[in-house]
Structure 1
Amino acid sequence: MRVFSHTCSNTEIVSALGAASCLIGCDDDSDFPVDVVAAIPKLGRDLDLRVDEVIAMRPDLVLTSLTVPGHERIVDAIEAAGIRTLVCDPLSLEDIYGDISRIAEALGIPERGAQLIAEMRAAMPSRANRNGPKVLIEWWPKPVITPTRQAWATDLIELAGGQNPWASIQAKSTPLTDEQVLASPPDVIAMSWCGVKVANYRADVVSRRPGWAAVPAVRNQQIVAISEEFLGRPGPRVVEGYRQLRAAIEATAR
């Protein structure tokens, strides 16, 4: 089967399923596994995907998503060419498992999908704790944007034993004011800035915000950097996001 992947998470899912040899191309943001993406053409990112070139490659299947506003027009253009698409738009961790299962089914390897899901579940045992420390994940630093109820990152926080103070908000994410953060001061702050390399995350950007010196995470130096590769991509590497969140949560008890 000839597969084109339009999102990095889908590229990683196909590879984790042991089907990387099916990939004939991917989007510019796909950067893992390094050896896999280095060997195939990259045809643009997000809304700038060069659809005509994708169609010219004559894929049997295009894996894409609706995680970026406007992706619908990319999907429509590919489907109009008569090419089969599989669209992912996960909100929860269970949705990620569902997408892995659907992709595995489409590739004709459903048993590998079931195995990968079982391995991920086993690697992320529930440490749920209603009294666990409050965790703020920052998707973006200015304004601070955090995941809310309809986000797999909230599921990861809770699974790792923490609480998301903004989990009651029925949305994928929300911007936060300083006042909102100070009203529910987090014990852990995880910088996971989308589109920024983890080497460029800076704790001082967080700690110098007006009034934040009183926030427990700042006061106790519990500001951690967790790459958006692990918290922002709905694929197999959320397991590493869980592990790093768990380590940060455990550190608050020391």
Structure 2
Amino acid sequence: MRIVSLCPSNTELLGFMGLTKYLVGVDNYSDWPLEINALPRLGSDLDIDMDAVEALHPDLVVASLSVPGMEKNITNLEERGLPFITLNPKSLTDVGNNILTVGEALGQNDIAQAAYRKYNSLLEESRRFACKVVDRPKLYWEWWPKPVFTPGGTNWLTEVSNIAGGQNVFADDERASVKTDWEDVRKREPEYILMAWVGVKEKQIKPKLLLQRPSWPEMNAIKNNQVWVMEESLYCRPSPRLLIGIQKLGAMLHPTLFPTYDAKKAEEWLCQLDEL
């Protein structure tokens, strides 16, 4: 069985399912699990080299529509007659259902069912800590600075916020991705600003730039030094690794209610697929 993944979230989903060994090629941004580092790279998720994909003779290409612009990949796959499925998760439930979709497409239903049970078990484990939270701080997630893009009510980060004991200030907007402006954000008075720019590594994000935005220095989140740079890989990719993101955010917001976050232990916790 030969599988090609065209975006990081799909690669991570396959890794969680224990199917990494079947991957023969991935996009340039995939970086988990580490075993994929030796695989051929096929271009960025918005500019896939379809000649390279076809040359790998895949039994299945796992494509995505999670980022605007990926439609081109789908069109090219159709034109070449390559076997593919398309994932487009917007919620934590969708991520779980994608496990079953991939399992069915690969004829690996038993593995998929076990991974699905494990995913939901870990999710419920996180929800139990959230039940103890009384005060839920208001969170503003910044996906992109200008124009401003932020997750709305139907996006997985609204769920992640809730389970971690917070609330997304844009939860009232039913869109999964909201295009807005700096003034709208300021008026919502977030208590925390969480910067997770899509496709940008944490070290490249400069929180000091927020001080240049009109009236932003008066925001409580900035005055109280509650501006955090978050890992794009844990919050911007709709994969099972969002569960690690929940663990980390919960410990940051409510250190007395959530377990202390340890990155290595969190990875081990996620990968305990004993049922597989």
Return the TM-score normalized by structure 2: 0.83
Task: Tell me the residue number matched to 1:103.
Answer: 102
Q: Deviations over 1:120-163 (max 9, x none)?
A: 31442252668511000110123332111221111111121211
The aligned residue for residue 189 of structure 2 is 185
Aligned length, in residue pairs? 252
Aligned partner of 2:120 in structure 1 is 118
**1:231 aligns to 2:247 (yes or no):** no
Partner residue of 2:44?
45
Structure 2's unaligned 5+ residue stretches are 258-276
Paired residues for 1:122-161 under 5 Å: 122-125=124-127, 127=130, 132-161=136-165
**1:54 and 2:53 are equivalent in the alignment:** yes
1:45 positional shift? 1.3
What residue in structure 1 maps to residue 244 of structure 2? 240
Contact 1:188 1:249 in 2 (8 A): no
Higher mean C-alpha deviation, range 43-52 or range 186-195: 43-52
SS state at 2:61 partner: strand
Q: Distance in 2 between matches of 1:86 and 1:120?
A: 26
Q: Would you say the 8 A contact 1:105–1:113 is kept in 2?
A: no
Deviation of 1:241 after TM superposition, in Å, equals: 1.6
SS of the residue aligned with 1:124?
Answer: helix
Over aligned residues, Cα RMSD in angstroms?
2.2
| Residue 264 of structure 2: aligned partner | none
In the TM superposition, what is the alpha-carbon distance from 1:243 to its structure 2 partner? 2.0
Is contact 1:55-1:78 (8 Å) kept? no
Amino acid of the residue matched to residue 165 of structure 2?
G
Q: Structure 1 residues 198 and 46 mapped into 2: Cα distance closer, same or farther (>3 Å)? A: same
Q: Does 1:14 align with 2:14?
A: yes
Taking the aligned partners of 1:245 and 1:22, their CA distance within structure 2 comes to 32
Distance in 2 separating the partners of 1:159 and 1:211: 31
SS in 2 for 1:38: helix
Identity of aligned residues (%): 35
- Match of 1:15, SS state, is helix
The structure 1 residue matched to 2:222, chosen from 208, 211, 218, is 218
Q: Secondary structure at the match of 2:194?
A: strand
Could you list the per-position Cα deviations for residues 177-198 of structure 1 after superposition, in whole angstroms to 9, with x for gaps in the alignment? 3322222111111110111111
Distance 1:105 1:26, change over 3 A: same
Mapped to 2, the partners of 1:188 and 1:85 lie a distance apart of 40
Which contiguous aligned blocks of 4+ residues in structure 1 show a shift greater than 3 angstroms?
A: 79-82, 128-131
- Kept in 1: contact 2:139–2:191 (CA 8 A): yes
C-alpha separation in 2, matches of 1:47 and 1:222: 33
Deviation at 1:246, TM superposition (A): 1.4
Structure 1 residue 119 displacement after superposition? 4.2
Q: 1:69 to 1:168 in 2, by over 3 A?
A: same
What is the TM-score of this pair, normalised by structure 1? 0.90
202 and 247 in structure 1: CA distance in 2 versus 1, 3 angstrom threshold: farther
